[in-house]
Amino acid sequence: MLFADVVATSAALGETRSRRTKIDTLARLLGELDVAEIVPVVAWLAGAPRQGRTGIGWRTLAAVRGEPAESATLTVGDVDRTLSDVVETTGSGSTMRRRELLAAVLGASTAAEQDFLFRLLTGDLRQGALEGVMTDAIANASGTPLATVRRAFMLSGRLPETAVVALADGAEGLAAIGLDVGRPVRPMLASPAESLAGAMADLGSAVSVEYKLDGARIQLHRNGDEVHVFTRTLREITATVPELVAFARELPCTAVVLDGETLALTDAGRPRPFQETMSRFGSGTAGTVGADDGQLRALLLRPYFFDCLHLDGVDLLDEPLSTRLDALDRVAGAHRIPALLRPDDAAAAAHFDAALAAGHEGIMVKSLDAPYAAGRRGRAWQKVKPEHTLDLVVLGAEWGYGRRTGFLSNLHLGARDPDGGAPIMVGKTFKGLTDQLLQWQTAEFPKHERERDARTVYLRPELVVEIELDGVQVSSRYPGGVALRFARVLRYRPDKTAAEADTIDAVRALLPEGIAVTATDG
């Protein structure tokens, strides 16, 4: 297939907000691909090269861009091979060789193809084909049930490879994808609850009410003496957490997959700041703000678990949570997150208060009847916090004034478009920014720069920040029709990607009951 056909599809996606139209457009393209073309094309249209981080920045691309070709000749294979060659080129002279490879592919690209490559390689491809839309398109193109595709994606962890199986082998091939101890499973996520009473009423009496720890999500796999530890984004961190590896090898089992949290504790047994826990993972991003690296490397991480997905040859994903918790108690009961089973409203409220008193974020209310399903399918897991918080995308930052002169300060905040479009701006804030955060932002933000003017540095949608707010109000100032009230920065979330930020729907759900909102084009 010509690369131009993929670029044209991307453009068509960007011209519509209709989810159904996006799915149909993608499905038509997927149906025309050769098997070898599926992985790169699905990765590109989901927003990233299949090779992962390429280390190619906007300035490098601009320096080698040159004049565009008059006609389209590049194939999907041509572009994919070039990107592989760029990533694999290392050592002496690699900078020059990488530039030569990029110059060649850009020189053979039309203007539209050049623009697509720029946006793909700099993380700014916003044509509205995020994982959810692409998953639906794969089901459509392959004629397989959506639930089957979703389950295979959960177990494989990679959407392009799932697409290959779906398009080549259909439902039978997808059904053959099982849980593989040592390969991460895409995590199940919680939806925000309006209140504890609301969550209890929604899920009924058959629930587990658990502490919501202020830690970092981990997934621990053990098969014999082989141990792997993954983050919520499926990044492997085994080498940086030897205490968790040693813990796993002492468990009374042969094979296990556990889902949980890890955090560092003070001498008094209270949780240390989230940033200190994240710094142990070697994230290289916001988790290290203001940290003493030597001291943090010496911190021990304590594991706490809330789910068991596999135990000694038995997959438990399809079992109800009650069964999975029984397995968890057998293998790691001493490290289970504090929880109450089937509490009444008074006991649940007391557990909530106890979680806050212990320094944790709040509680989770989970249906004991629900199987394990990646993402936020339904509302079987609900999180309850004492204040409103949102995980939002940083879209830009304005230069400060007064004592903040010379620092990037006032943040532009965006919510995720559930239909895969660009993040939707919902407000600004400079509150909650410590001197350490101001220094970090000023050094870090240019690495994610999309463009700038005299007042503002605009960023690619890559950084997620947790915002506390007093509520939401209707506003014509921002395109989503809502604005944050008294927003303040709590912390950055290096454990989350922009695809995991809260949606505009979650923001609008915080409006007072009975108030409608109309989005604008501004």
Residues facing residue 57 across a β-bridge: none
**Residue 448 in 3-state DSSP?**
helix
Pick the catalytic residue: 212, 383, 385, 496?
212
CB 214 within 8 A of CB 180: no
Burial class (CB in 10 A: 0-12, 13-18, 19+), 89: middle
**Number of neighbours of residue 107 by Cβ within 10 angstroms:** 14
Closest CA to 408 of 471, 465, 455: 455
Residue 81, token pair as written in the block:
């091979």
Tell me the C-alpha to C-alpha distance, in Å, between residue 347 and each of 31, 87, 343, 386: 54, 55, 6, 17
Closest CA to 223 of 248, 196, 205: 248
**Residue 255 in 3-state DSSP?**
strand
Contact partners, residue 454, CB within 8 Å, separation at least 6: none
Contact partners, residue 267, CB within 8 Å, separation at least 6: none
Contact partners, residue 280, CB within 8 Å, separation at least 6: 240, 241, 264, 296, 297, 299, 301
Residue 447 designated active-site? no
**Residue 504 in 3-state DSSP?**
helix
Closest CA to 403 of 433, 375, 362: 433
CB 191 within 8 A of CB 174: no
Using the Cα atoms of residue 506, residue 511, residue 512 and residue 515 in order, give the sign of their dihedral: negative
**Number of neighbours of residue 329 by Cβ within 10 angstroms:** 12
Active site residues: 212
